[in-house]
Structures are given as C-alpha cells and as structure tokens.
Structure 1
Amino acid sequence: MKNLAAVCLAMLLCAGEAMADAIVRSQAMFADTIAEYYVEDNHLRLELEIGINDVAAFRNLLPDALYQRLGYDETPLKERLSKFATEDMPVLADGKKLVGRFTSIGPATRPLRDQITGEVLPTPEDEETVVIRATIVFPFDERPESLTLVAPRETGMANIGFVLYHKGVAVNDYRYLSSGNTVNLDWQDAWYSSFPERSMRRQYYSPMTGFIYVEPYEVRKEIIVRPADIQRYVDLGLAGATTIPAERHDEIKEKIVEFLSDHFPVKIDGESVEGSVARVNFLRRSLRSSVVVDNQDLELLPATVGVIYVFPTDGLPQTVEMEWDLFNDKTPTIPAATVDQAGPLPVILEPDFSTLRWENFLKFPELPTLTNIQKPPTVLQSVAGWGRWLMLALSIVLLAGLLRSLFTKRTLSVPLLSFSLSALAITVVFFHQHRQVAMNDERLTQLVGDLLHNVYRAFDYRGEEVIYDVLEKSVSGELLTEIYLETQKGLELANQGGARVKVKTTEVNNAELRNRDGNRLTIESDWKVSGSVGHWGHIHQRTNGYRANLEISVIDGVWKLTGLEILEEQRL
C-alpha cells in the first residue's frame, strides 16, 4: 500500500527544465575543437581537444612523419610547437606575448558534454571520438591585468569553443573563440573577472539575485547570495579564506539568514508581511539546475547560498512586491524574476528601479480543485446487479404462462397479466439502474483518474492539517497515514533544496477490473503523471508513467483508495 508514496516520489526523477533567467543557448561546447583556459596565480594553462576537421589549422602540433605525409615542409616538430605557442594560438598578457611550453600532446578520447552546461558526462563506448589533446602552460612573473586569447589564422580558420576559468571560477559560459578575446582579471576576487563584451558574460554573473514565486495559498521569496560578498557587510569569518569547510556551513548560514532578515521586505496586496525561513542551502548552480552541496568543503569564490522564505496566503493574491535594498559598486544591478503559472518574468533591478513586483494578470489561474468522485451503487442499484436476471427469467415465465392460457383457454388471465407486466417493468428498471453504475472500462478509468487526481491535488494545499483532511476524502485505512507521511517527504527534492513538486496533470490510459468482492474492486491501471517544481530560478518539468493494481472500496458511502501495488514504473 505504501507504494503510492513511491509514485509521488519517483515522478520527481525525470526532468526537463525551463529557467527563470533568459538562457543564451550556445552550441560552442560541441565545436570541432575545445579550448579550456585555466588562469592561476603565476601561469595560464591551455587544454586543447582538437577535432579531425580542424587538424589542418593545428598542423604544427602533428608529428614530423604525419606532417610531411600531408604535404607540408620538413620543419621539425620542436620548431613548430614553439611557433604554435607564439604565432598560431598565442596568449598576450597586458599586450605582450607569453612564452608557452607544451607539457603533453597526443591522441585521446573526447568526453561527452551536457548540451546546456557543457559539463563533462560519462561517454558511451559507441559514442567515443578520437581527438588530439594538448596542454600548454604559459608562465608569467607578475599578475597581468588582462589576457588576450588568439585563435589560429595563418594556418587556417578553426571552429573553437572555449571557456576560461580564473582561480576556479568560470568567467564565461562556452562561447566561440575569435582572435582578440580579452579578459580583464580581478585578482582580489576572481568572480568579477570578465570579458568586456556583454555576449561573453556568463549567465550567472551576479553574486546576488532574487525571485518571487506566486502560487495559490503560498508566496515564496528566494534569495541567492555569495558568502564572499556578504562578508563585505558582516563578518562571516571568511576574511583571507580560500575555502568554506563543511563544519562551518551551519554557522555561516545562520549569520547570512540573520543579515538578510533586515533586507528585501515583502508586501502582499499592499500589506507588509513577515515570512518564515523554509530552507537554507549551499548551492552549486549551473545552467541546468541548482544542486544542494551542504556538508562538504567548498571553494570560497564560487560558493553560493540560497535562502527560501514562505508566506502563506488565502488563495491567489493580486500583487506581491519585494524591495531590493542592497546595491554597491560591485553589484550596481541585480537580475531578478517573478514566477507564476504563466512562467518567469525576468527583470533587472537597479537603485532607481528597485522593486520586484508581481501583478495577477492570470486570466484562468489554476486553483487546487478536487473532483467529485462518482457515487457507489445504491441499495437498489446493488440489488439490480443480480436481480435483473432473476426478474428477466420471472418475466419470461409469466409471459409464457400468459400466452399458454391465452391459446389454450381462449381467455386472458387478468391477475397473470398484471404480474407479467409488473415483472417486466421491474426488469426494465433493474437493467436501467445497473447500466447507471456498471463498472465498464470507461467508468473504471474515470474512477481511477478522479481518485489519483484528488490524491495529488491534496498536496497543493498548505498546512499539515488541511492536507491530511483533503487526502482523507479519497484515501482510507492504513494507506492514508502512509501516503501522507511518505508523500510529504517524497514531494520535496532533497538534492535541490527541498523544493516541492506541483502535479499538473494525471492521465489514465486504461483501467481493467480484475476482481470484485462486493463493494471492493481490484483494478489494474496505467497512467501518466506530469508536474513541475520551481526553485532557485529554475522550473523543472517531470513526467512518469505507472502500471499498478489498485484496491478501491466503498467507505462511508464513497469510493476510496484502500490499497496500491506498483507493477511497473517508467520515466517518460
């Protein structure tokens, strides 16, 4: 019976995503050649993956035998490597070329990369691609203010996707490399290193951001900050640190929450409101998701903390406002967004436009509603189930007797006629009543769909007592407590800050009656559940398919779910 909780939990595991930020999609991570630049305190390291289509442009890296076999001159590899690092693909520090040295070069397998984030994924054997991998180190004695990256030209154009990291912080998302891309380096805080071109700016460039999520019965304020920036306002004990040890997470989160309690006030329908802190987590943010990384050592510079505040409401409000009151020279503008059933609406906040405002422009808001479950058979309808055949047989016998009397005695027996017509009338009524409640496939499908709809919809409400009461309308017995406790836990995504999924649709494909014992039905059914969860600026879509045996019984005059056995689960 407890498997229904597993259904609610498992539906969270299959995802598609939408973002509250305007994502700039790039295919640069799938370029023929990938260049990854790593800037450290005294050197830059360039790691290359050179695809076969770009070999001509990178021919100076080829072994002598292969180089000459392709029809080029007899210039030895040593000279060609030096030329590559200084002429083909040099790096300039404050306008002066750095001297590079190769630490490795040779064939390798290209890793599979995520189509959104560019993160390395496990590579199936049948998708392995051979590339030339090379590593070049460019030392520098003094920290440069800027570095200029150059792509090959004299040897031919190449299709190069690149990303640059400064002290572990990604300065840009994957973009295409062209000659003359200059990055300005902030050696005090690498988070603020940047390319001057807006198109080269990484998606999550801001150290702070805010979101307002508006749902029926609940408004959420979500604030994401970087501890390194909060250190500017309040002492978190991070001065001079390079990492945040796991054992200090709770202390730092507590100080951040205390600091934020005096900022970003919220009004709902014009009234100032105080929310409660629902969740506080260290996060690792990517273009695809934000994942909780609590209780592990973290690098200070890219570390972020997310705080979620909850404001209960009576239904859907008309307006929600959040005032952003933290601006400085490092954060003159703040990316923010409001999110409702229609999707995200991103805005940029600044000192003269500091209010993040949501207005209810929803024409057809989706409010949590329960479906009226079809009523179980009445006493008359139950009797009609088996009585219709008895009355049909009796009607046939009486009509036969009436006809025999008519043909043999040439007289019509009035009492017998009366009994025959009465029996025939009752037979018609019984068949009609049975047809009203007959559990054919259509009615079974509707009954299963309505019960599942109400179970999932119960968790759209807020407050333990309310959810329990709503759930009790469709579930009974031991299953009620198990579903409430397990589903309450299962609807929260632990690895993404405990955000709760909201079921959108439940679609029953078919339902077949396997057994009937009085008012207890055993039905085999399969259905799809689709839902979404919004948090940390992302909206994730979930869809799962199930096949199960459901036990549905009449309890206190209504159909309720009393048992469930999952037979098959499939991610869709």
Structure 2
Amino acid sequence: MFGMFKSIAFSLSFAVVCVTSIFSSAAAGENSVSAGVNHPLSIVEADVLVGRRKLIMRLKCYAEDLELLHGVEPYEETGKYDNTELQEGTQDHAKYLLEKILIMDAEGEVLEGEVTEIRPFEIPKEGIPAGQLMNYTIGYIFEYTYEEPPEFITMEQRMIADGALLPTELKYIVKQSGADVSYGGSGKIMKPAIPETFQFDWEGVPDKNDDVAVWDKWLEEQREKNLGIESYGSVYSFFYITRREVRQEILIPIASLSTFIDIESEDGRFLEIDEQDALKPKIEALLSAANPVTIDANAVQPKFDRIDFYGLDIRDFAMQAERRKISMANGRVGVIMSYDPGGAPAHVSVTWDMFNSIVRSVDTVVIALGTVRRTQFSKFLENNTYTWSNAEPVNDEAIETVPAEFDLPFWEGFPWLSLLLFVGAIVTFASGRFRDSKAQRFTIAGALTAAALLCVPLVKVDLYAPWSRRMQVSEQKADEVFAALHANLFRAFDYSSESRIYDGLAKSVDGKLLGELYLQLNDSLRIKEQGGAVANITEVNLLKGKLRENGKSFSTAKPGFVYRCKWNLVGDVEHWGHIHERTNVYDASFDVQAIDNQWKITAMKLEDVPQGIVKRRLRKF
C-alpha cells in the first residue's frame, strides 16, 4: 500500500514538473526558471550508538526538509533560495529534530538531549535553484547522558508536518557500544507515534570474533531472560487448552492498543493508575466483541481474569509488580481471559480479527494438553481461525475407594445400657424388699423398663471376640492405607470440573470435611506472585510418615488411627509462555476412620505450610 502511494506521489510530481516546464517555456522562453517540485516524502536517517554513560545519535536529512518543514522558499524573481534563510533553517531544523525524536528510559521519561554538532551543506556561490535542495544533505549529532548503563532505550518520532500528505519516515540503526549487536538497519522504518524499544546487555555480550556456538548460547540466555518476548513493540497471544479451562492471554503495547480504542491521558505521556482503571471497561468491550472463541461448536464469552499494565522490566509481569503509572510509549497491557469448557474440551477454535495498519500480524503460541505449536494470524491471510481438535477424548480416570478390612463383631450394636436397665427392672419387681408395696415395685420396674427401651437406639457397643484385632492396624498397613488415601486426595484435582473434583475427593474424604479440605488445599496451591492463581499439581511425593495413634475410637465409635506425614507438592502456573513453579513442603496430621467398610480421612490439621521458593522457567517453543 505504501509503495503504491509513493508511486502515485512520484508520478504526480513528475507530471507537475512536465506541465510546469511546458507552460513556463511557452510563456517565458529558454531563459525562464521553472519552479521546482519538492520530493513527496521526508526521510531522516539515524545512526544511534548506545554507550554506558552516553547515547550518541547521528542524523542525516535532506535539505529539502527546510522547505517542507520550515517554510524556506525560493525568490520568485531569481528562482533561488536565500542563503541566509537556508543557514537559519538549518539551525531551526536541529531544534525541530531534537524536539520530535524522543529518547526515553525504561520508565518512559524523556532524556534531555544536546545538539553537539551541525554539519551544514555547502551552498554554492551562485546559489541553489528551486527544486534542487534534494541534492544536499545536512548532518546533526545529538548526545544524551545518563548515570547508569541503560537496560532499555525507547525511541519515538513525532515528525508530522502540518498539511503534509505523508509523514516523515525515520530510517534507523541502533548499536550497542563494545558489542557486535545492532537493531534496525536494512531499511527499517520508524513511523510517527509508533515507538520502538531496545534492550541492552552490558555484562555477557560476546565479542564479534567469538564463534557461532558462543553467540547461540548468549542469544538463548537472552531469550530465557526475556521470557521469550523478542520484540517490545509486537502483539503476542498465548492460547492454553487444559482439561479444566480454555484461556487466552494477550500482550499488546499501549501504543498499538491506542489504534483500536481512545485512551485518555491527562499527561499525554503516562497513564496514571486511575486512568488505567478507567481504560479496563473499554478493553473488555473491545475483546469481548472481537476474537470469538468456540468450544465444541458453542460460542463462549470470555471471563476477564486480569487486565494488568506493565512497564519494560520483565519482572513486572513475571511477578505481578506493584501498580504504578505506565509510559504510553513503552508500556504494555496484559489481558487474561478464560472460557469455561464445561468439561474436558474436544474441539476449540479461536479467530483473530483485530488488524489495522499498525497491527498487521500476531504471533500466537497454542499450548494444548502438553503439546506446543506456534502459529500466526495476519491481515494478509484469508482465514485467521485456528482450530484444535483432540484426537483422543480425555476421560477422567476413576478414583477407587480404599476398603477397610476388619474382623466383624459377633454382636454389632449391643445395647448394653438397655440390657442393664431391663435386668434391674426384673430384679426390682421380684425383690421382696418392696413386699408391703406392690404398687411401688411395679412403678420402679416400669420406669426401668421404659428407660431400657428408650436407650436401645441411643447407647450401643460392638462386641468382638477376645481374639479379634478389631481396632488395630499394623504400621505397614497404616502406611499402605494412608499412601492410597493421600494419592487420591491430589489426583482429584486433575479432574475437569469442580463437581468432579468434589466427587473424587468424596472417595477418600468424609462428607463433613469435603468443603473445608477443598478450600484449604486450594488456598495452599495459590501463587501470590501471580495474583493468587491456583497452581496445577504436577508432582506429589510422600517424604515420611508415622502411625501416631492406633486403634482410636472416634465419636461415632468406628475404628481408625491417626497418621502424621510430611510431603512435598510441586505445582506450576503458566502465563505469557513462562512457567512459575513452586515446591511446598507440608506437615500434617490426619484422622483416618473406617466408615461403611471404607477408609476415609475425617480430619486434617496442617502443622506447617511454608511457602516454597518460586522458580521461573521459559516454555520451549
């Protein structure tokens, strides 16, 4: 498209030159001077060298910009430019470039630059005829100083002349001092209001003479350090498909987002926290209408889990940094949307239709049930829908109960108190002590009999043979029983819905404890550094366990035991293609009870749950 505009502009310019020449020749003959035609496009070339304490920018532009931007015009009488105006315009253009080409630090603050050298073009004695400024170039050198070697530098150009058909283009190349690393070049163009951010490593950059293996290792380390984010000006999309949810995560520069929705900023350079909050509903409205998702042929609306605003520091979204004002030039917005699949999904599709002249393509990574695939959406493609299908349906593996094997009582639920009261009634009625008062004997015996009948369902005991081991389990048996219950406890969290998780827990946990234990375990899996997201359990290891109390009789008079154990649990949360992994070590006591001939956990007391260290690693694409 741009090439077409350029061709049209050039053709129009050529036509105007021809027409002007013809009419001028006809009117004034050979001695007339035709008015030249300006080059239709303003181009500035920038060579930027970033040092540890100073940034040096060398600029080259065409002298024609003095006419395009500063109103320098040839005299009608002579058809030539005034030399003094050209010299003054050269000075004015330095101020213009210093104002319109912005160099910013990691926080988005504009660095103050200084014009250290101006290299004007040589004006011939006879002067420069109209239309010939394109043949001359001007050079400028700007310098910017800072106290520490910068990790990030952001460049933005705002060279848009009033009434110009096309904006000024900035061709740039950025180099790091002392390293064979450069950005841009090869015709890389920076257009107005579309900033570019560059990152620098001041410690481990290989020498230009190092072999390919050294450079490959360094590049991989940089990618790991930057969590796979290779460009701070690009839009990234991560699409996750698990047994329990479908999730889409988008990283988009604020500058790119502003081309889709109006962003209000009082300062114009920064978004304050209240302005970020005011922007969130607009983002939700934009993304709810765009990028539709279907799960098993059903359109599903997103739930917005998080909308965060990030700076350039990679730790901002790696550890969800404290909220603060964000630069409009180099800030980014991270959006996490989840979609409820209602169970393990079989078919999922997502369409990306947010394109314009700035966002032309979106790199996307799809992570589905452990498999990873890269794809790209582009405005130049006819079909921008990605469809995932699971060849093998995912079924929740059944959790088996743990049977309780005991010697059965020869009299289960023996009403010992009722029997005792009934015997007392018989003895009282037959006793001669109340010989003189038959009515009194009858009354007492009747009361004892009534009490005996009343206690039949209330007070019971199981009677076992003297040789039975009705309340005892061996240490080996306790280890086996608890290991099975403990494994079931965390396998339930692999299920694809909350109701299935509860059903799985019910196989090993008493109903009264279900809700409490679910919330307790769920809370222990949250990673605070990621906004309280619940980690996926990847590994559970029993470290040690001991039977503490054998043959315990619980309130319901069922046999059981108390078991204390220590275990570690490895869980992870993944966002933006990087994984936060935490290993927690738990120490807890469990009451284990035989209920309906099945072992069940009836109580759990966590002795110690220290928050483990979060390790971060990059998913390999």
TM-score, structure 1 as length reference = 0.56
What per-residue deviation string (whole Å, max 9, x for no partner) do you get for residues 347-396 of structure 1? 22223152233232569x6x55453232223342999xxxxxxxxxxxxx
| Alignment partner of 2:305 out of 255, 270, 278 | 278
1:538 to 567, 573, 578: 578
Q: CA deviation at 1:178?
A: 1.6
Corresponding residue number in structure 1 for 2:541: 507
Higher RCO (CA < 8 A, seq sep 6+): 1
Amino acid at match of 1:515: E
Displacement of 1:191? 3.7
Contact 2:489–2:508, Cα closer than 8 Å, also in 1:
yes
C-alpha distance 341-530 of structure 1, shift in aligned 2 (>3 A): farther
Give the match for residue 526 of structure 1: 566
Measure, in 2, the Cα distance between the counterparts of 1:213 and 1:232: 27
Q: Deviations over 1:218-254 (max 9, x none)?
A: 2222233333322212212148621111122322111
Aligned partners of 2:410, 2:487: CA distance in 1, in Å? 27
Question: 2:563 & 2:521 partners in 1: Cα distance?
Answer: 22
Equivalent in 40, 47, 72 of residue 52 of structure 2: 47
1:177 aligns with 2:179: yes
Letter in 1 for 2:59: D
Cα gap change, 1:466 to 1:438, in 2 (>3 Å) = same
CA distance in structure 2 between the aligned counterparts of 1:478 and 1:270, rounded to whole angstroms: 39
| Structure with bigger gyration radius | 2
Question: Among 294, 299, 306, which residue is 2:327 paired with?
Answer: 299
Measure, in 1, the Cα distance between the counterparts of 2:176 and 2:475: 57
Distance 1:357 1:489, change over 3 A: same
TM-score norm. by structure 2 comes to 0.52
CA distance in 2, matches of 1:233, 1:370: 48
User: In structure 1, what is the equivalent of residue 153 of structure 2?
Assistant: 165
1:324 to 337, 345, 352: 352
Task: Find 1:356's aligned residue among 386, 389, 392.
Answer: 386
Distance 1:236 1:312, change over 3 A: same
Answer yes or no: is the 8 Å Cα contact 1:321–1:358 preserved in 2. Answer: yes
Q: Does 1:440 align with 2:460?
A: no
Kept after mapping to 2: 8 A contact 1:246/1:294: no
Matched AA of 1:538: H
Q: Which amino acid aligns with 1:560?
A: I
Deviations 1:454-482 (A, max 9, x none): 33344444665554454444334775443
5+ long unaligned stretches in structure 2? 1-47, 62-105, 119-137, 144-148, 157-172, 200-215, 224-228, 412-463, 554-558, 614-621
Task: State the match for 2:114 in structure 1.
Answer: 139
Question: How far is the alpha carbon of 1:176 from its aligned partner?
Answer: 8.1
Alignment partner of 1:311 is 2:339: yes
Taking structure 1 as reference, are residues 262 and 239 closer, same or farther at Cα in structure 2, changes over 3 Å only? Answer: farther
Q: Secondary structure at the match of 1:475?
A: coil
**Displacement of 1:212 after TM fit?**
1.8
Tell me, in whole angstroms, the C-alpha distance in 2 between the residues paired with 1:205 and 1:382.
77
Q: Give me the whole-angstrom Cα distance separating, in 1, the residues matched to 2:358 and 2:500.
A: 45
Select 1:209's aligned residue among 229, 233, 236: 236
Whether the 8 Å contact between 2:197 and 2:330 is mirrored in structure 1 is no
Aligned partner of residue 228 in structure 1, secondary structure? helix
Structure 1 residue 323: Cα displacement? 0.9
Decide which of 192, 195, 203 is 2:196's aligned counterpart. Answer: 192
Aligned pairs for 1:109-148 (under 5 A) are: 139-140=114-115
How far has the Cα of 1:283 moved from its partner? 4.1
**Cα distance 1:319–1:294, how it changes in 2: closer, same or farther (>3 A)?**
farther
In the aligned structure 2, how far is the partner of 1:470 from the partner of 1:232? Answer: 49
Residue 235 of structure 1 pairs with residue 258 of structure 2:
no
Deviations, residues 425-482 of structure 1 (Å, cap 9, x unaligned): x99x969x99xx94333x4344333333333344444665554454444334775443
RMSD between aligned alpha carbons? 4.8
Aligned partner of residue 302 in structure 1, secondary structure:
coil
Choose from 550, 560, 566 the match for 2:607: 566
Alpha-carbon contact 1:371-1:450 (below 8 Å) kept:
no
Alpha-carbon distance in structure 2 between the residues aligned to 1:369 and 1:457: 9
Matched residues, percent identical?
22
AA aligned opposite 1:359: S
The aligned counterpart of 1:375 is: 403
Q: What residue in structure 1 maps to residue 170 of structure 2?
A: none
| Structure 1 runs not aligned, ≥5 long | 1-42, 49-84, 97-118, 120-135, 150-160, 384-425
